[in-house]
Amino acid sequence: MEIVTYTTVETFVNHLPEVTWVGSLIKAVLILAVISAIAGFGTFIERKVLAFMQRRLGPMHVGPYGLLQLAADGIKLFTKEDIVPQNANKLIFMIAPAITAATAFIALSAVPVFPDFTIPKFIPVLGGTFVPSIASDLNIGILFVLGMMAAGLYGPLLAGMSQANKWGIIGAARTAIQFLSYEVVTGLSILAPIMLVGSLSFVDFNNAQAGGIGSWLIWQQPVAFVLFLIAGFAETNRTPFDLLEHEAEVVSGYATEYSGMRWGMFFIGEYANMITISVIAAIVFLGGYSEGGLGWLTIILKVGFFFFLMLWVRAAWPHVRPDQLMWLCWKVLMPIAVINVVITGIVMMV
Amino acid sequence: MTHVITEHPYFGVFVLFALTAVAFPATLAAARFISRKLAKLDTEKLKLTIYECGPEVTKQPNTISAQFYLIALLFILFDVEIIFMFPWAIDFKLLGWFGFTEMILFILLLAIGFVYAWKKGALEWHSIK
């Protein structure tokens, strides 16, 4: 095995792969295409998993094991009449779903989702182009992704407020409560791992945990991991915190007046956000990509585990009230997170 | 996984922004076009009423009593302070004891304010006694 030693910074930099704008472009298109497909397929997986947990079979009639259910849903969403109700603010009502979906995918541009590869030479125009694992390798990756996901809440907020419907307004107010509650916890819980690694870049986080299972940050930061997971559930509107569109209380919350593809767009954004949170948790706390022998399969397993966990929690737990969410985040999780940061600091200094 | 050399790191973000800004509204427009072609438009007036049992559609005031107004004020304070802590966390090893002590003092000041707000009942849901 050849050991490469770098004598100066310049030679090290020369060994890094270079990304042209074509590579970034291909990567961005890949993200949009593949993650949209996975987000759609996620709805199918969710229905299947929830069904098996309740001893049902789930969708079975369309295609083998109901696999074509996704296509049937797509046709249904495209052909259902798109209704803009009376008295609604038409422009905002129509663009709000696109905001949710767009911000979810812009956040994914700074997250490493697939392996990097070089397009084979024999392909005519694009041959030899290096396609990176991150569309844009930002040095403030985590901050950017969290900020972009926070901006995604404008979707439900504007959607709820643009329709002249009480349920929608209540849904919008709940969106605001949810954001006010979890955002502080997300920031504080991710702070302790950042202190340990000393960087905001996903690549640095991955490389800091390259030494196998023992070097995963979850062993050093179990409290931060649990806090981040809880905040992540709140960020993606998953079940213990699905206040925004809880059928039994607010008819469908912000999505009450939506129909057809405009309604489906919210859920493309939601599932893309679930994937983003899963990837962040896998890279920051569970070691990321480099794991003995399995290579890129490990990240898929980890992300799959988090995705399954979200569905499992939905099947197992009831949801909380808005004031309980506020109580939980401000009076329980935030003090724990601050204490965790301080203790991490003390341990690192001593 | 390694870092890569890019001339413009934010180019990928821009590309995805441009792509999503075109692709998603275009999808919505296509869906609207298809569904309006297929729809029965002769009962349009009743279809456009809002989802509500009974009451006539009126121009409702788009307001709601927010029970979390003080939380929202506190949130702005705390979130700005957390952003302030991010640079400190990145350079934690570099700053050493000096930075650590400064941050502990900062967190103490924060904690005093937090305890005051808690005791004043700013973190309560205001309609619940």
Q: What is the DSSP string of A197-238?
A: H----HHHHHHHT-S-GGG-HHHH-HHHHHHHHHHHHHHTT-
ipTM comes to 0.85
* B47 has pLDDT over 80: no
Other beta carbons within 10 angstroms of residue A132's beta carbon come to 26
**Tens place of pLDDT for every residue, chain A, 350 residues?**
445 555 445 555 556 677 778 888 888 888 888 888 888 888 889 999 999 999 998 888 888 888 888 889 888 888 888 888 887 888 998 899 999 999 999 998 888 887 777 787 777 777 777 888 788 888 888 999 999 988 988 989 898 888 877 888 888 888 888 888 888 899 899 999 998 888 888 888 888 888 777 888 888 889 999 999 999 998 888 888 888 777 777 888 888 888 888 888 888 888 999 999 999 998 888 887 765 556 678 888 888 999 999 999 988 888 888 888 888 888 999 999 999 999 998 998 88
Contact map slice: B 52-111 vs A, CB within 8 A: 52, 57, 59-60, 62-64, 66-68, 71-72, 75, 78-79, 82-83, 85-86, 89-93, 96-97, 100, 103-104, 107, 110-111
**A117 beta partners:** A131
What does the pLDDT read at residue A340?
92
Q: What is the DSSP letter of A4?
A: P
In this structure, what token pair is assigned to residue A83? 């209704």
What does the pLDDT read at residue A1?
43
Provide the mean pLDDT of chain B: 82
Please state, in angstroms and rounded to a whole number, the distance separating the CA atoms of residues A146 and B54. 42
Structure-model confidence comparison of residues B61 and B105, the more confident one = B105
Please state, in angstroms and rounded to a whole number, the distance separating the CA atoms of residues A322 and A242. 10
Please state, in angstroms and rounded to a whole number, the distance separating the CA atoms of residues A84 and A81. 10
* B83 has pLDDT over 50: yes
Q: How would you classify the pairing of strands A117-118 and A130-131?
A: antiparallel
What does the pLDDT read at residue A122?
78
* B44 has pLDDT over 90: no
Q: Model confidence over A11-49: pLDDT tens digits?
A: 555 566 777 788 888 888 888 888 888 888 888 899 999
A73 and A239 in contact (C-beta within 8 Å)? no
B86 and A199 within 8 Å at the Cβ level: the answer is no
Domain B67-119: assigned CATH number = 1.20.58.1610
A188 and A224 in contact (C-beta within 8 Å)? no
Strand, helix or coil for residue A328: helix
Inter-chain contacts counted by CB atoms under 8 A, chains A and B:
240
Nearest-by-CA chain A residue for B97: A349
Which residues in chain A have Cβ-Cβ distances shorter than 8 Å to B62? 161, 164, 169
What does the pLDDT read at residue A228?
93
A195 and B5 within 8 Å at the Cβ level: the answer is no
Considering the entire predicted model, what is its pTM?
0.88
What does the pLDDT read at residue A180?
87
Q: Model confidence over A82-95: pLDDT tens digits?
A: 888 887 888 998 89
What does the pLDDT read at residue B77?
87
Helix or strand (DSSP H, E) at A118: strand A117-118
Residue B96, amino acid? G
Give domain limits for chain B: 4-42, 67-119
A72 contact B CB<8A: no
In this structure, what token pair is assigned to residue A78? 């495209």
- Return the closest-CA partner of residue A49 out of A233, A245, A316: A316
Give domain limits for chain A: 14-349
A231 and A189 in contact (C-beta within 8 Å)? yes
Min Cα–Cα distance to chain B from A244, Å: 15
The minimal CB distance from B12 to the residues A24, A207, A342 is found for A24
